[in-house]
Structure 1
Amino acid sequence: MSSVSIIGAGLSRFGRQPGVSGRQMALHAIHAALTDAGIGWPDVQVAFGGSDGSGLADTLVADLGLTGIPFTNVKNGCATGGSALVAAVNAIRSGAADVALAVGFDKHPRGAFDPRPEDWGLPAGYGEAGLMVTTQFFAIKIARYMREHGISERTLARVAAKSFRNGSISPNAWRREALSEAEIAGAPMVNDPLTQYMFCSPGEGGAAIVVASAAAAERLGGRPVRLRSVATRTRGFGSFEVFAPSIQGGGTPSSVSTDAARAAFESAGVGPGDIDVAQLQDTEAGAEVMHLAECGFCEHGEQEEWILRGETDLGGRLPVNTDGGCIANGEPIGASGLRQVHEVVTQLRGEAGERQVPGAPRLGFTHVYGAPGISACTVLEAVR
């Protein structure tokens, strides 16, 4: 399989930005990625991108330049950015292009997401019963998991405190004030056992990644990061996912995150134990806990001890969500997956400043998860 490298990564600020549109955030991220790659828009041969509610990505050419390249819109829930990256990588691997762009962006209004059940293949009564409220789903899922695996509520507060702590030293993060475990645990309850500060919020932001073939990366120089693998998966039978009306079958529910992570590791030829820094979807604190095990980094139930010992902190065995994740950055749906990739690229280059993982990390991993049960994962490698 032909080698693909990330040669440019760009990010807008995340969080509320009055007067700045989602399109403008996307353009900022694209220009930053192009500058990082040392190229201009005319050098990009194909592009893929999307948002959940801030417009069509292909129309960005009106501002970027009418170069006539193929630009495909992607809309795949929280995996929009990851899916755009998969498409860009496949364009390189197929020989259709030497330089490709993936972009994701969104600008969500205040308040919770308001999906319609009809759009997700569900009857209207599912929404009328309140089951389209995602905070309820995540609370039900983590409460069940905690009972089965002996995870305490204090662990949820510890995870969120780490996220706010990392966000406080991440210049593009939305939430840049550290909060204590006591403040997080004592915040208003949203859906038991998850308090207000254990959740991310619908947010605003843009992220862009430029990928290139081995020949183009060598020609352009710069600071490439090798993309060892990228994989997406949808839910299988027996899974318990956002907007899932029930758990199908018997036994332990399957996990789309496990399927996507396994595919990414197998394609990369490495295992979870080889990873030096990771980004895991943390729509709420419980999601990070579950995804640690679902992606293969520890056994189910080991998270309590891992987190107590600080293994997922910046100086721990596996630093997780070093930029504060979704909890500190919010979740602009189209941008989240590519924000994760941007952060791992920054870490592998040794350019993360105060939040830099020590010891010159060599391998990084990203994982995004969203409705109605879709996951995208990458394995990235530093080029020394």
Structure 2
Amino acid sequence: MSDDVFIIGAGLSKFGRQNGISGRQMAVTAIQTALTDAGLTWPDVQVAFGGSDGSGLADTLVAELGFTGIPFTNVKNGCATGGSALVSAVNAVRAGAADIALAVGFDKHPRGAFDPLPAEWGLPEGYGEAGLMVTTQFFGSKIARYMNAHGISRDTLAEVAAKAYRNGALNPNAWRRDPMPADVIRDADMVNDPLTRYMFCSPGEGGAAIVVASESAVRRLGGRPVTIKAISHRTRQFGSFEVFSPAVQGSGEPISVSTDAARAAFEQAGIGPADVDVAQLQDTESGAEIMHMAECGFCEHGEQEEWIAQGRTEIGGTLPVNTDGGCIANGEPIGASGLRQVHEIVTQLRGEAGDRQVDNSPKVGFTHVYGAPGISACTVLAV
């Protein structure tokens, strides 16, 4: 029997501010859309995993979905919540505990920046009083160091964000759907040097769901399956430089949890970064996308300046990145973002992305999520 697991359904809610619609409602919309995509109904699901950062317990969604009695496990793992839920769903199918499993992530964050409490991260209160729980400070300091080390310009930071807004304009589910010139982005109000306000994503709202199935279920159901060639999840090692730990520890260059997760995914899939046709990389701000291009193995450190100037990460480029606008255009509902990435790759590999469709029938896609306090999850998908 094959160990392959397949995505047979993918669904989203709208992303962005949705007055009067709760995070739970967005989750239910995403689940129902994913089930319809798979040609299934809720009673067909045998096990489920899901979570949010601040919008409630996923297992209680059965009140709206139906009391079918299945195991439904709550997952809360920061920005890797959705990816971790998918890991769990895939492993349930691999273990033979279910033929059909579901992963869901959702959130509805208030306006303004995230406000994490130090104690919840194992940190003293003084850490917060010193301002070190402000995530924009971390992202600013990390990309500033990286730009100095590898010759990345402010114009390149702005171009990454401009691409996100252009792609978001082509995505009917995106929050930010108005293109914005790179010079406006570059010259906007500074948040944390060198990052301006339009280079950041915003805490947002949305839900995403993925239905996975065994090979035997796919043979029975048909449809448009996408193979999960690999899925990985890693936490930070000593010597990394992370959110809420913004210092270089040990000697030499900081190591990257994103590199660890991406390397594990490619080894599991038996392919390399050069085989990927379309990618989703965490872009909490535009500097993150730049760093993750190299950390995930798609280019060498410092090559991003040339890549972006040549348009290689555009929809029509050699490695389209964040074709749906990424976090910058969609916002960051923490529980949903990782599964939104998977939804976009499934859509691209099926050839159903409309105006943002990548040319030449992409066959292999990659997703990568990164978040505090140093966690990363990656997938390799193929048709």
- TM-score, length-scaled by structure 2: 0.99
In the other structure, the counterpart of 2:68 is 67
The residue correspondences of 1:186-225 to structure 2 (distance < 5 A) are 186-225=187-226
The residue correspondences of 1:57-136 to structure 2 (distance < 5 A) are 57-136=58-137
The residue correspondences of 1:142-221 to structure 2 (distance < 5 A) are 142-221=143-222
In the other structure, the counterpart of 2:311 is 310
Aligned counterparts of 2:256 and 2:187: Cα–Cα separation in 1: 31
Deviations 1:47-94 (A, max 9, x none): 000000000000000110000000000000000000000000000000
Do residues 26 (structure 1) and 27 (structure 2) align?
A: yes
Deviations 1:241-268 (A, max 9, x none): 1011532201000000000000000000
Deviations 1:294-313 (A, max 9, x none): 00000000000000000000
Unaligned runs of 5+ in 2: none
2:107 partner letter:
D
Asked if 1 retains the 8 angstrom alpha-carbon contact of 2:6 and 2:213, the reply is: yes
Please state how far the C-alpha of 1:271 moved relative to its aligned partner: 0.3
Aligned counterparts of 2:140 and 2:218: Cα–Cα separation in 1: 44
The residue correspondences of 1:310-349 to structure 2 (distance < 5 A) are 310-349=311-350
The residue correspondences of 1:31-70 to structure 2 (distance < 5 A) are 31-70=32-71
What SS class does the counterpart of residue 15 from structure 2 fall into? coil
What SS class does the counterpart of residue 90 from structure 2 fall into? helix
RMSD: 0.6
What SS class does the counterpart of residue 279 from structure 2 fall into? strand
In the other structure, the counterpart of 2:282 is 281
In the other structure, the counterpart of 1:272 is 273
Aligned counterparts of 2:210 and 2:79: Cα–Cα separation in 1: 16
Asked if 1 retains the 8 angstrom alpha-carbon contact of 2:275 and 2:364, the reply is: yes
1:346 partner letter:
T
Deviations 1:286-325 (A, max 9, x none): 0000000000000000000000000000010100000000
1:348 partner letter:
L
2:109 partner letter:
H
Aligned counterparts of 1:245 and 1:70: Cα–Cα separation in 2: 39
What SS class does the counterpart of residue 137 from structure 1 fall into? helix
Do residues 17 (structure 1) and 15 (structure 2) align?
A: no
What SS class does the counterpart of residue 138 from structure 1 fall into? helix
1:26 partner letter:
A
Deviations 1:273-298 (A, max 9, x none): 00000000000000000000000000
Deviations 1:303-355 (A, max 9, x none): 00000000000010100000000000000000000000000000000000000
Deviations 1:154-190 (A, max 9, x none): 0000000000000001000000000000110111111
In the other structure, the counterpart of 1:379 is 380
Aligned counterparts of 2:216 and 2:172: Cα–Cα separation in 1: 33
Please state how far the C-alpha of 1:32 moved relative to its aligned partner: 0.1
The residue correspondences of 1:235-274 to structure 2 (distance < 5 A) are 235-244=236-245, 246-274=247-275
Aligned counterparts of 2:319 and 2:247: Cα–Cα separation in 1: 33
Deviations 1:222-255 (A, max 9, x none): 1110010100000001000101153220100000
Aligned counterparts of 1:291 and 1:216: Cα–Cα separation in 2: 35
2:344 partner letter:
E
Percent identity for Structure 1 against Structure 2? 77
What SS class does the counterpart of residue 73 from structure 2 fall into? strand
Aligned counterparts of 1:53 and 1:157: Cα–Cα separation in 2: 31
1:366 partner letter:
T
Aligned counterparts of 1:99 and 1:135: Cα–Cα separation in 2: 40
What SS class does the counterpart of residue 210 from structure 1 fall into? strand
Asked if 1 retains the 8 angstrom alpha-carbon contact of 2:138 and 2:246, the reply is: no
Moved over 2 A (4+): none
Aligned counterparts of 2:179 and 2:193: Cα–Cα separation in 1: 23
What SS class does the counterpart of residue 104 from structure 1 fall into? strand
Aligned counterparts of 1:285 and 1:63: Cα–Cα separation in 2: 38
Aligned counterparts of 1:183 and 1:149: Cα–Cα separation in 2: 24
Unaligned runs of 5+ in 1: none
Aligned counterparts of 1:267 and 1:244: Cα–Cα separation in 2: 30
Do residues 298 (structure 1) and 281 (structure 2) align?
A: no
Aligned counterparts of 2:89 and 2:243: Cα–Cα separation in 1: 27
What SS class does the counterpart of residue 33 from structure 2 fall into? helix
Aligned counterparts of 2:195 and 2:19: Cα–Cα separation in 1: 29
Aligned counterparts of 1:324 and 1:22: Cα–Cα separation in 2: 21
Identify which range, 216-225 or 197-206, moves more after superposition.
Answer: 216-225
In the other structure, the counterpart of 2:9 is 8
2:165 partner letter:
F
Aligned counterparts of 1:201 and 1:246: Cα–Cα separation in 2: 25
Aligned counterparts of 1:214 and 1:148: Cα–Cα separation in 2: 47
**Number of residue pairs matched by the alignment:** 382
Please state how far the C-alpha of 1:40 moved relative to its aligned partner: 0.6
